Chains A and B, each alone.
Chain A
């Protein structure tokens, strides 16, 4: 019930963009992870400390990691702290809260102590929050804050000194670049935000916090740059997020699937990345990034098909070579989608397409193969998929062994045994390599999946089947949108101005306008002209 109400309020809050985000809506009761139905409203704390501790003990029944510690502070005020062991910084708790509170100042009365305490003048902490709601306290304890209860005062103090076990910032593993920055996001959301903040030192960078997951209470941040990102887009993101009702959010894909425009599409409609520079770049283009706690993969929306064909590396290398690499990528995109199908179609339906000498070579290598070409192709492709999947999931050392064995067995032995033709092995290997060239893994995955239906079509109808497959895929792609932006912008609909970052990678001094997103103006970037030699500058 509470959850429902929370969403209702959240939705109404989202209805007026002027309102503050949820977290700052003071006193909003939130989900109790254990007994949500018991908590109808914010329960005002009773004055008695024992009563309150009793209430918390009831809530945290059988939770052995909750610590209740009572002590006498100042001039004899009974206090107690409640926190969860291991997710707070105990050092800070001891030094700055308990020790400082226990220090007796001469001439300080109990009332004075309490007053100073609540005014934030007594303890040397950097931030604290005061609440009078038991449920709010409960929620915050679970988030890793320390709750301080003072006997005789209904207010309670929350110290956000959470400290979760976390990995240090390390190299990007999935999106490797040669020249660009190496750091990658980690699981901890505040670290991630610092990584972003380090790159965008601007007050216009907005981050709005939400919590999702009935039991996980995962923190989700919507980040965008005010003034670049269209307001409508942020509202749309908020609106879509407000629809989410879920038990737990364990990774960004939970959010990703919930906000997709077309939930039945194999194509990714939002992009994930582990690179803070990619997020920063996307924000500068007027997109929105969604940070999800406890995952190193953050979401970018909206995206286009071509955006997923760009790699971070493109922007760090010389633009001419980057352009060339992009073209290679587009070529291999087609190869990864079509090559096995083309092989099947050409050998079984259109052998006259091959030049005589090549045809004879192919025909010779296929001569002893006992299967039809389509079966052969399927056999090989599926084995290749298996090898690939096995290599990804295996522990690192074994994985290498598997891939070597797989390549040897399928590559050499199968050909020698006459089960598959040499040509097919080449085709499958090239296709396999091609699918790794696509920078965005999810897009590569979608194409890998689509490859098989197109292969069936090629087996049934030859090239006509392939064309049918392409047309159907294309029809699907043109009807697809990502947060309102047509998926194939800038080719369909045609936005020639955006080809500067799609057909080529224009040098930075030519990237004058931001890419065209749905319903946004084509805003000008800060830009400079072509670099000039000193003498040129003098003459002009």
Chain B
């Protein structure tokens, strides 16, 4: 196994952090934080980065080993296995939520007659192949798609700047309400906190010490990518309408008209970021499959890929009866779950490890 260079890590994580955010979180974010949405977004990114820092600190304690394998040394087998299973479930759950959101999106906007399971199955097929090809494949794929996806994201503001109402700028500067910012940050930070998945495959990263810097860069670029869609959307639609629209970014893309000829480029753009969604799901699923195979002490994770993907596809279809139910779930239980997994679990391991390290200085020399 070749190690993952930081350029690949950054590229995948940028896609990983911003595609789902831009597609599904823009509306709710604008709804809760209004004109402060952009600050909330930046705050969310920083919180997410902070969460990843805990995981990074934990991973750096044993940079040559995999978390799932050494975790039992820290807090004991009987606590480690359920917690690891919880993490695996969290990965599956995140993958299926994104898959479900994407399926809902496709079915409402483009394929009204198509059942959602068909869309989920098609994406699932790609994801399963990606997971099977492996870690390297996912990262290389991200690298290949990176410029196309980012290009399609960056091109949007250029085409719609004449529709934007720049007078609103003053509102973006003058409005400042802490509760709104906090609520927005609470809502969006799990999207960025997702980068704590580095914990699972940390030994594979080339020169692990530099990881934090890469994560910071990735988060910054990802925030920027979302901002260049969020701010124009607010300037065109006003934050309230952004909050009311189901898919504000799609409406933003539909606003594009190049000259008089090219209108309705949204399917092309949607196509380009659906590959981003695919990569996001693949990474989550890979982490799930990989951790699971280590928990089961399997020599190879590949046999699991198709079956676990099938689970994710089923989960995504059955997890909620309607998209409203999904939103409601996401707002409450889903958020809590995300915070537990991204923040609480790594913190628990880190604390226990630190305390243990203090007591048994000979065994684990403190850094």
B264 A352 Cβ-Cβ under 8 A: yes
Q: Which B residue sits closest to A488, measured CB to CB? A: B144
- Is A330 positioned at the interface, with any CB of B under 8 Å from its CB? no
Q: Which B residue sits closest to A355, measured CB to CB? A: B261
- Is A491 positioned at the interface, with any CB of B under 8 Å from its CB? yes
Question: In the complex, what distance in Å separates the CA atom of A486 from the CA atom of B122?
Answer: 27
Q: Which A residue sits closest to B142, measured CB to CB? A: A492
Chain A residues in 8 Å Cβ range of B133:
475, 478-479
Given A464-B119, A464-B122: A353 touches B140 (CB 8 Å cut-off):
no
- Is B336 positioned at the interface, with any CB of A under 8 Å from its CB? no
Contact pick for A464, options B5, B265, B271, CB 8 Å = B271
- Interface range for B: 35 or more
Query: What's the nearest-Cβ distance from chain A to residue B328, in Å?
Result: 27
User: Which of B30-38, B123-131, B215-223 contacts the other chain?
Assistant: B123-131
Given A464-B122, A468-B123: A350 touches B141 (CB 8 Å cut-off):
no
- Is B106 positioned at the interface, with any CB of A under 8 Å from its CB? yes
- Is B280 positioned at the interface, with any CB of A under 8 Å from its CB? no
Chain B residues in 8 Å Cβ range of A475:
126, 129-130, 133, 137, 141
Interface residues of B in 117-170 (CB under 8 A from A): 118-119, 122-123, 125-126, 129-130, 133-134, 136-137, 140-141, 143-145
Query: What's the nearest-Cβ distance from chain B to residue A177, in Å?
Result: 30
Contact pick for A471, options B106, B262, B278, CB 8 Å = B278
Question: In the complex, what distance in Å separates the CA atom of A463 from the CA atom of B114?
Answer: 14
Query: What's the nearest-Cβ distance from chain B to residue A335, in Å?
Result: 15
- Is B111 positioned at the interface, with any CB of A under 8 Å from its CB? yes
Interface residues of A in 456-496 (CB under 8 A from B): 461-468, 470-472, 474-475, 477-479, 486, 488, 491-494
Chain B residues in 8 Å Cβ range of A464:
106, 110-111, 119, 122, 271, 274
Query: What's the nearest-Cβ distance from chain B to residue A462, in Å?
Result: 7
Given A492-B141, A494-B143: A472 touches B261 (CB 8 Å cut-off):
no
- Is B7 positioned at the interface, with any CB of A under 8 Å from its CB? yes
Question: In the complex, what distance in Å separates the CA atom of A288 from the CA atom of B260?
Answer: 53
Question: In the complex, what distance in Å separates the CA atom of A493 from the CA atom of B263?
Answer: 35
Given A349-B111, A491-B143: A468 touches B267 (CB 8 Å cut-off):
no
Chain A residues in 8 Å Cβ range of B261:
355
Render B94-119 as a binary contact track against A, CB cut-off 8 A, 1 for contact.
00000000000010001100100011
Given A472-B126, A479-B133: A350 touches B110 (CB 8 Å cut-off):
yes
Render B258-293 as a binary contact track against A, CB cut-off 8 A, 1 for contact.
001111111110110011001000000000000000
Query: What's the nearest-Cβ distance from chain B to residue A508, in Å?
Result: 27
Chain B residues in 8 Å Cβ range of A463:
110, 267-268, 270-271
B271 A466 Cβ-Cβ under 8 A: yes
Contact pick for B129, options A467, A472, A477, A492, CB 8 Å = A472
Given A463-B270, A493-B5: A471 touches B265 (CB 8 Å cut-off):
no
Query: What's the nearest-Cβ distance from chain A to residue B127, in Å?
Result: 9
- Is B8 positioned at the interface, with any CB of A under 8 Å from its CB? yes
Chain B residues in 8 Å Cβ range of A466:
271
Query: What's the nearest-Cβ distance from chain A to residue B181, in Å?
Result: 36
Question: In the complex, what distance in Å separates the CA atom of A167 from the CA atom of B130?
Answer: 49
Query: What's the nearest-Cβ distance from chain B to residue A444, in Å?
Result: 21
A492 B271 Cβ-Cβ under 8 A: no
Chain B residues in 8 Å Cβ range of A478:
133, 136-137, 140-141, 144
Chain A residues in 8 Å Cβ range of B278:
471
Interface residues of B in 31-86 (CB under 8 A from A): none
Chain A residues in 8 Å Cβ range of B266:
353
Question: In the complex, what distance in Å separates the CA atom of A346 from the CA atom of B268?
Answer: 10
Which residues of A does B touch, CB under 8 Å? 346, 349-350, 352-355, 461-468, 470-472, 474-475, 477-479, 486, 488, 491-494
Ordered by A's residue number, 22 sampled pairs between the chains whose C-beta atoms are within 8 Å are: A349-B111, A353-B264, A355-B261, A461-B111, A462-B110, A463-B110, A464-B110, A464-B122, A464-B274, A467-B274, A470-B275, A472-B125, A472-B126, A475-B130, A475-B133, A475-B137, A478-B133, A478-B140, A478-B141, A492-B143, A492-B144, A493-B8
For the complex of A and B, list the 7 residue pairs with the smallest distance between their C-beta atoms, beginning with the closest. Answer: A478-B140, A492-B144, A492-B140, A492-B143, A479-B133, A471-B126, A467-B271
Given A467-B275, A488-B144, 11 more A-B residue pairs with CB atoms under 8 Å apart are: A461-B122, A464-B110, A467-B271, A468-B123, A471-B126, A471-B130, A475-B126, A478-B144, A479-B133, A493-B5, A494-B8
